[in-house]
Structure 1
Amino acid sequence: MLTEGHDLVVVGSANADLVIGVRRRPAAGETVLGSDLATYPGGKGGNQAVAAARLGARTALLARVGDDAHGRLLLDTQRAAGVDTRPVLVGGAPTGVALITVDPSGDNSIVVSPGANARLTSADIEAAAPLLAAARVVSLQLEIPLETVAAAVRAVGPDTRVVLNPSPPAPLPPDVLAACDPLVVNEHEARSLLDGDPAEAGDDPAAWAAALLGRGSRSVVITLGPAGALAADRRGQTRVPGVPVEAVDTTGAGDAFTGALAWRLGTGDDLATAVRYAVRVGAAAVTRPGAQQSYPTAAEVAALPD
């Protein structure tokens, strides 16, 4: 297994997104006609890896895909972005697929078949332990089994920083939560992790961040869409405003944000500085359609207005 140090190792999902445009989403038992099928590379892990690599990070992806056309598409896309795909495991199940219908307003309905993502195991993580221990940052999501995420947390080196986006949200074991530096959540994910407790999950992102810190996370970042983000650690909180852009498509923008944030933390940025950069990356990503194909280069981020 690889042992050289990477700026960022992303451990997570890689999906093929199968997208059909519809005039309206079907009701139960109903058939509607749609547009031609479009296939795009996706998955939160794959998205984060592409976003970071396109910015210039030395990035590796640890994931599992099927030995099929969708798996080959995902691997080719990662390599084209500059991601080290040697850790990607092939086989065991078909590549994960997201079936997406999108109506004219942009609202969508999504059904995910995890496929090979669900077969990324703790044993796979243990085999890759030298890779994780040598990384500056390891970034995780919850589109792979939670026990696999926990194994990755245990495998990181003493100087490796862990970034976790708990999406889709699920209760986190104490040792996983304690490793998060930061825990990256949007409003929905924050409320879910706080169990809807009115005392903690009101309408104040600052209160959400304080509550999540109180539950054990080392630091917290709450993404706020066009309004920017909130960064919080034991020393205090910093509100980072959004960047004014003309949004075209928000698909995958959160993954672009997290990939950029993880990379900048690995370069030595403090949390607030890394969040400011990540907000700019997320803003650039929404100005173009799609997920991975919308992710900016470092030069494109620098060209955004202040």
Structure 2
Amino acid sequence: MILVVGSYGAGITIRVPRVPDAGETISGSTLNIGHGGKSSNQAVTVARQGGQVSLLTALGDDAFADAARTMWTQEGVEHTRVKTSQGSTMAGVIVVEPSGENRIAIAPGVLDELTPEDLEAHREAFAAADVVVVCLEVPVATAERAITLARESGATVVLNPAPAASLHHDVIAMADYFVPNESEHEFYVREGYRAPATQTVIVTQGGDGVSVTTGDDSELLAPLIQDTVVDTTGAGDTFVGTFAAALDAGEELRTAVQRAIVASSLSVTVAEVIPSIPGRAAVDDALADYLQNN
């Protein structure tokens, strides 16, 4: 079983012909309100890859929260460990350019109230998990406690340090897999973080592929380039969720990363996050073609 600890948020996506300058208003845009939050996206990805998954997050007492629970039920994401508080559910505004590139601004809402003590109340979930996935859209102290609880429980820990934030380096080192993108990786390099030889660092680099490093062993795995890129918003979460599902299914490291590369590549061809997350059959088909060429 995979336990995903972190975030849910409503995604308010605005597609624009170009990003407006300061003080400028642009018309001709389209609007969509859907589901987001890195951890929720990752949990849905795990479920679509056939994995058993539970989500630990926080919601407000609003319509966004009701929609989230309905979606999780439909997707097969177990969510009995979700904290509900008075206030607003996290929401993010996503501005998407015609190229598919995106810019995101987030209002955390009650997610900022998810505390280390809340995690202590769910120790049995950590004890039951084979893999624990943690992102940084929750308070730093909460993310750090999730990592230490997972380590104490003997689970495999996947840390997706997004958005980048200052963590104690000894806590980062507890993760079995450290999975940043290029800019996040640069942040931790600047902070002086040095991965221990026991940790695998997986850096997603978009069209340049994925770097996988364990100790002195390093490999760059090729990307799967799509002719048409519609929306890159959910690509990172699809990568992490697929990777975690593959690990939980017993896949070797290289194969798990390759599955994640293929799944995230498929996701950029579809608009919006949840609709863009591919199912297992689609990933299997595309993976077979990818492996023939790489």
- Per-residue deviation at 1:237? 2.0
Deviates more, 1:265-274 or 1:136-145: 265-274
Give the total of aligned pairs: 286
Unaligned runs of 5+ in 2: none
Alignment match, 2:208: 227
C-alpha distance in structure 2 between counterparts of 1:217 and 1:42, whole Å = 32
Alignment match, 2:279: 297
Q: Does 1:91 align with 2:73?
A: no
Alignment match, 1:80: 74
Deviates more, 1:283-292 or 1:253-262: 283-292
Alignment match, 1:192: 187
- Per-residue deviation at 1:256? 0.4
1:128-147 equivalent positions in 2, closer than 5 A:
128-147=122-141
Q: Percent identity?
A: 36
Alignment match, 2:16: 22
1:34-49 equivalent positions in 2, closer than 5 A:
35-49=29-43
1:1-306 equivalent positions in 2, closer than 5 A:
7-33=1-27, 35-156=29-150, 157-195=152-190, 212-214=194-196, 218-234=199-215, 236-246=217-227, 247-304=229-286, 305-306=289-290
**Superposition RMSD in Å:** 2.0
Deviations 1:183-202 (A, max 9, x none): 001110111111178xxxxx
Please tell me the residue identity of whatever aligns with 1:223. Answer: T
Please tell me the residue identity of whatever aligns with 1:270. Answer: E
Unaligned runs of 5+ in 1: 1-6, 198-210
Deviates more, 1:28-37 or 1:146-155: 28-37
TM-score normalized with structure 2 length? 0.90
The answer (yes or no) to whether the contact 2:16–2:30 under 8 Å persists in 1 is no
- Per-residue deviation at 1:133? 1.8
C-alpha distance in structure 1 between counterparts of 2:24 and 2:208, whole Å = 38
The answer (yes or no) to whether the contact 1:222–1:230 under 8 Å persists in 2 is yes
The answer (yes or no) to whether the contact 1:93–1:119 under 8 Å persists in 2 is no
The answer (yes or no) to whether the contact 1:53–1:81 under 8 Å persists in 2 is yes
Please tell me the residue identity of whatever aligns with 2:254. Answer: A
C-alpha distance in structure 1 between counterparts of 2:104 and 2:154, whole Å = 38
The answer (yes or no) to whether the contact 2:90–2:111 under 8 Å persists in 1 is yes
C-alpha distance in structure 2 between counterparts of 1:270 and 1:302, whole Å = 16
Alignment match, 1:201: none
Structure 1 residue matching 2:71: 3-state secondary structure: helix
Deviations 1:231-261 (A, max 9, x none): 2213622322122433332211111000111
Deviations 1:278-299 (A, max 9, x none): 1111122122122121111110
